[in-house]
Structure 1
């Protein structure tokens, strides 16, 4: 009786899962994978962290010379690319990138199938269903369950194929707020906003996003949490970035190349890493244990660059508290304390630190991620590093010194792009002289210059335009956030503005010419008090700009309890033809905390030249 009752269940299960039974029972190991086409099954989210990707498995065949086309929605953006044979072998099939979320995607593929000594050209169409975009929530009623709420303002035809990686942040989840460093004191461990990283097309649609699993990211773990920042796509098509105590490399399908702990001498990665031409990485970190001149041991804050080789060995370091002056305070005293990078506190908007405040702080044992002077406090806030192979040096951006600095392998300063105010005699001959287009020095006084030139203030990103730079002349792109401009706070908050800037630096003559700017004309609505990016893109001879916290600098409002509430941000993605000041691309993202954004190449990712 029991056997008779079980038989219909077994039959139903067999039919439901596509199994086959012989009259004597199961015919052998069961394969329960459905193949849509003439090769293998479709695996969505093959590596568990990129839900809008898939692999069409090779089904045991050898396949070569594949192409993929994700059919666009009506009026949407097509994504089509070739896949080199190395990728086909690596993923055991055809990698599919750029699926729409919560949608039945149509994907067209072509390939050569090799079997029994014959080669067959195949063209097929697959249907691939995806789930909605998932966002980790922090329980706040002010948190939207939408990754990117986009408004596409304008896109020139030249840029219609663009895909933009958007590196945004979400409010710190309570899970990530349970630990700080205490041996030694200080550091920036509590700086742990959540990830919101995705790729959008020029129609504003999400076509890829990162859904980090617990293997790679755990907000409750000291060594697996932290803000994901510093994304780069290398010439090999792979993505590198860092977070907290890690730096990593993955491909666009989510396959891990490596995920490494920082070397033990360092802590608190954030903001920036640079993949140098020789394969080394320059990581913006901090000292995990520094004994100060007064004998106190501290974690430092955002003031060390560690150089590691391909195997993770440290080959050099740049200890900026030894190279620069950690007690130069002219910028620290003019920062708006309501927006000291991402330590946003609307109740402190417009307030600044006095010399007395800094003196009391230095006399205390108060260390950590606080604006202040001396090692162990946020005196430098380095947010960019870029290696220059022309003279084996690095260029760094120090927000809390409003300075871009070039430093040689010998740890000597080569030049400083900043106002001369507040620098000691040791550095005065390193400060670049502003000039006009004819090389004539400009008149500068009271931290301002004639001729339309301006230095950058609390800037983010200071990146070399490699293809236009040589040993003598260097082109530099910078996002000038503009807080503390001319070392003062303006009479009214809405007088603040930000700029994207390109400089031409004559490294022999020690001069700097401002050759392009954008943003002043956009006024306070485009002002980004923190974060943001300006980056040259060689493929289209263009300048990419992300005003990542535009709108956040507006006067704070009050909530129902009367507590000050920061204004919400609405970042802008813009891209410009080189030398032009009218955006060729403008996309607005509503109600988002932005960090950086940049174009991503699908061709690099799947059709790079294998060496």
Structure 2
């Protein structure tokens, strides 16, 4: 016989939920809500799209909402996250989007809103909701140093008041995925960089060092499917506040709540995305890829490596491409012969630390059928290693950073080189009139030695100028740039500085640097730098970023592999990378923000995140 609950028992169950909550038990008898709700709105839907566990939506419960303001109440001495939500965003989510919850914590969220419904007066309410979250749930990669968290510890050394509201997205690459990475290579045609499939993560921290968001990428990656896996890189926040990035054979866009906007395979003529996605001002995306099939002058068909830029529109149609092996000189070898073979981007090999490739070894490689992600010259090998692309709407051009040419280059829509920032040595006659002349603040020429590969700032501070070496992120400072004058920010990693390896590895140093380029007179002036004074401890052999941000007139710098050194005598790495994030007021010599991470693996890039773009505009 079925047991029937008494009315008194049912009433007791309802009362036990609490005075601020209601639990309606319904069924086919009528239109009722049969889930727990708080306050005067609907249910709290945690992680609404399954990809951003530290987000939620307070459902609108059938009301029309407006004038919404959200405040995530902080832990003791914590950072308040607050933002307005516009009416369009409220309609998109069917309620109030909640961003910035603490993990493994009973969060308190204060919301102010106006609710209206047919036949009732508008009512403006302020109330507090409790939202309990679980711990950070990143899947461990199998590495000894990784715990499932994006870092082991964080040290906030300095945050000036003006920057105390910052939220920073951090994108790191902890390392190889034993047992999880797809083990595949391209072989018809040969070459490419398909095997580049380390683990990666993206998370947001506040200025107290607390994690306030992370992306659960396991839901969109499939390590056993080579078309759905790869290192996640090139994160950019679009004008609508959503994040776009790429991995392997795909590029994607999701908003901060985890809602998918698009998830696309690369156009079939291109492959192996990594490093850089640029959300250009014309509404298109510029992706750094390789060519899926290129016929070399010797008749061999190859997939190329990190030397192609493809432009796609909002619907994924190809608009244009820049095949750099046709535009530049893929056989210029001056930089390649001076690279430290122990640290070629993410390919860290301590057994080759301090070694460089000889002329004989390079010639033997060039004569072989070895193609793929190997340092060498010619299409099908890693001769360019482009790690960033940026768009200049002033003249419809792109600026690229080529690590393996130690050069930052501007190229027009007509595929003609406009200028080259880098040592003059080794460029053919075709490019000699594109090489910029260094000048000082008075407009006087700076004379450099060894075909302009060793400038006065190479060894001391007196000359105030040096080129970048194996640099990352050649980013245009848009608000300070016009058709004649362009400001360019870069992270000068510093390997092979002056086209040579130093006598002692600890003599290497990295810099964040800003240049002023007079595009009419073909001159370049170094107007700001930081890092030389930090010496070898701040040296980042690979990755990293320098980027200007309008909202605070500041430069963000991420020295992403600082602290990682290689003991040449033993052929081992000593000390894990300890990425350091810095933010400077424009022109300042000392940072306003200094945050150091440990236990991350290799850092990649970082940037501020705007909640105004995501929820208010």
Of residues 603, 610, 616, the one that matches 1:594 is: 603
Task: Trace 1:379-528 onto structure 2 (pairs within 5 A).
Answer: 379-446=383-450, 447-450=453-456, 451-528=463-540
Mark the CA change 1:159 to 1:400 in structure 2 (over 3 Å): closer, same or farther.
same
Partner of 1:568: 576
Q: Which moved more, 1:487-496 or 1:138-147?
A: 138-147
Structure 1 gap ranges (5+):
none
* Cα displacement (A) at 1:553: 3.3
Would the aligned equivalents of 2:25 and 2:34 in 1 still touch at CA under 8 Å? no
Q: Distance in 2 between matches of 1:26 and 1:419?
A: 77
Q: How far off is 1:27 after superposition?
A: 3.4
Q: Structure 1 residue 28: deviation in Å?
A: 5.5
Aligned-partner Cα distance in 1 for 2:316–2:13: 52
Which residues in structure 2 correspond to 1:246-265 (within 5 Å)? Answer: 246-265=250-269
Deviation at 1:213, TM superposition (A): 3.8
Distance 2:29 2:429 in 1: 86
- Choose the corresponding residue for 2:54, options 41, 52, 57: 52
Q: Where does 1:43-442 land on structure 2 (aligned, <5 Å)?
A: 43-117=45-119, 118-148=121-151, 149-173=153-177, 174-214=179-219, 216-442=220-446
Tell me by how many angstroms 1:479 deviates.
0.3
How many angstroms apart in 2 are the aligned matches of 1:108 and 1:270? Answer: 40
What CA RMSD, in Å, does the superposition of the two structures yield over aligned residues? 1.9
Q: Structure 2: which 5+ runs fail to align?
A: 18-22, 457-462
| Contact 2:55–2:98 (8 Å) recurs in 1 | yes
CA distance in 2, matches of 1:91, 1:177: 36
Query: Partners of 1:399 and 1:525 in 2: how far apart?
Result: 21
CA apart distance, 1:177: 3.9
Shift of 1:6: 9.6
For the Cα contact (< 8 Å) 1:382–1:399, is it kept in 2?
yes
Is the contact made by 2:38 and 2:129 (CA closer than 8 Å) also made in structure 1? yes
Contact 2:584 2:591 in 1 (8 A): yes
Using the TM superposition, give the Cα deviation of residue 284 of structure 1 relative to its aligned residue in structure 2, in angstroms. Answer: 0.6
Deviation digits for residues 159-210 of structure 1, max 9, x if unmatched? 0000100011122213114222222111111111112210000000000001
Separation (CA, whole Å) in 2 of partners of 1:555 and 1:437: 40
Cα distance between partner residues in 1 of 2:375 and 2:574 = 19
1:155–1:586 contact (8 Å) kept in structure 2: yes
C-alpha distance in structure 2 between counterparts of 1:139 and 1:308, whole Å:
36
In the alignment, what sits opposite 2:460? none
**Cα separation, 2, equivalents of 1:6 and 1:385:** 69
Per-residue deviation, residues 461-504 of structure 1 (Å, max 9, x unmatched) = 00000000000000000000000000111011100000000000
Equivalent pairs counted in the alignment come to 595
1:271: how far off?
A: 0.6
- Please say if residues 20 and 27 of structure 1, whose CA atoms lie closer than 8 Å, have aligned partners that are also in contact: no
Q: Distance in 2 between matches of 1:538 and 1:556?
A: 42
Alpha-carbon separation, structure 1, partners of 2:156 and 2:573: 28
Describe the superposition over 1:359-418 as per-residue Cα deviations: whole angstroms up to 9, x where unpaired.
111111111111111100100000010110111110000000000000011101000001
Matches of 1:257 and 1:461, distance apart in 2: 26
Q: In structure 2, how many angstroms separate the alpha carbons of the residues matched to 1:4 and 1:124?
A: 42
Aligned to 2:591: 583
Specify which of 597, 600, 612 is matched with residue 603 of structure 1: 612
> 1:292-326 deviations in whole A, cap 9, x for unaligned?
11111111100000011111111111000000000
2: CA distance, partners of 1:354 / 1:7: 85
Aligned-pair distance for 1:32?
Answer: 3.4
State which drifts further: 174-183 or 42-51.
174-183
Q: TM-score, structure 2 length as denominator?
A: 0.94
Contact 1:461 1:533 in 2 (8 A): yes
Q: Secondary structure at the match of 2:37?
A: coil
Structure 1 partner of 2:20 = none
Superposed displacement of residue 113, structure 1: 0.4
Query: Over residues 415-458 of structure 1, what are the superposed CA-to-partner deviations in whole Å (9 max), with x where a residue is unaligned?
Result: 00010011111111100000011111101003211212100000
Segment of structure 1 superposing worse, 572-581 or 32-41: 32-41
Distance 1:555 1:460 in 2: 24
Distance in structure 2 (CA, Å) of the matches to 1:586 and 1:220: 39
Instruction: Check 1:363–1:15 CA distance in 2 against 1; reply closer, same or farther (3 A cut).
Output: farther
Partner of 2:459: none
Q: CA deviation at 1:26?
A: 6.6
Aligned to 1:444, the other structure's residue is in SS state: coil
- Distance, in Å, in 2 between the alignment partners of 1:529 and 1:98 is 33
